Amino acid sequence: MITVIIPTRDDEERLAHALAALAPAAMDGIVRDAIVVDAGSRDGTLLVADEAGCEVVRGAGSGALMEAVGRARGEWLLFLVPDAVLEHGWQGEALGFVDRAILAGTGRISAATFRLRRAELGLLPRLAERMASFRTRLFAAPYGEQGLLISRDYYRTLGGHRDLAAMADVDIGRRIGRRRLTMLRAHALVRGRPTGRGVGRAARNAACLALFVLRLPPRLIGRLAA
């Protein structure tokens, strides 16, 4: 039913954790296959992918992602990043969304994303979670770490992810639109980054999101965010 697509580059340990969270859904037949789109890893990323039975597409950007979509065996696609580990029970939420979309006849014009959960303790991670929820609900701008569940037909209709220097996840979310993007109750757990990098990233993302809302050309925003 679902093909999982994970872009990687030197993500050996992170990929192992992300794939482990998919194992129960694969055993239940919900995850049909997984494809790793690798942009030239030099560590053990490809070994992890091979041992997990993943197909590998070598390359980066929209072309490589579309090649992975072409090889997908599932009618639904789940785009994940190696940093995100889907929490226990996620497959029930995903399956429920797919079933509802099919019954309502909206499978070709709807998508879903997970709630963000930070692994760290404290106030700042909780604020980051709330901000992610706010962005998703109000602006249809989930982080890439929240994943994207979308039918293969709808993804192709949208033209897939664009080759932007940054914020490609926001760009496709905005093209899907707030009314067509559902935030599931299940969480994607993300491990923390160094504080300085996290603050700088948050400021950059906030500025770029504002530019998206003001409808500046996505490619220009990508260059400014690089």
Confidence of residue 205 (pLDDT cuts 50, 70, 90): low
Q: Which residues pair with 34 in a beta bridge?
A: 4
DSSP label at 168? H
Asked if 89 contacts 183 with a C-beta cutoff of 8 angstroms, the reply is no
Sign of CA dihedral 163, 167, 171, 172: positive
Distances (CA, A) of 35 to 5, 82, 166, 194, 224: 5, 12, 22, 29, 31
**pLDDT value at residue 52:** 95
Mean pLDDT of the 170-197 span: 83
- The residues near 207 (Cβ < 8 Å, ≥ 6 apart) are 225
Taking residue 106's Cβ as centre, other Cβ atoms within 10 Å add up to: 14
**pLDDT value at residue 196:** 40
- The residues near 122 (Cβ < 8 Å, ≥ 6 apart) are none
Tokens of 132: 């992610």
pLDDT in tens, 8-54: 999 999 999 999 999 999 999 999 999 999 999 999 999 999 999 99
Confidence of residue 193 (pLDDT cuts 50, 70, 90): low
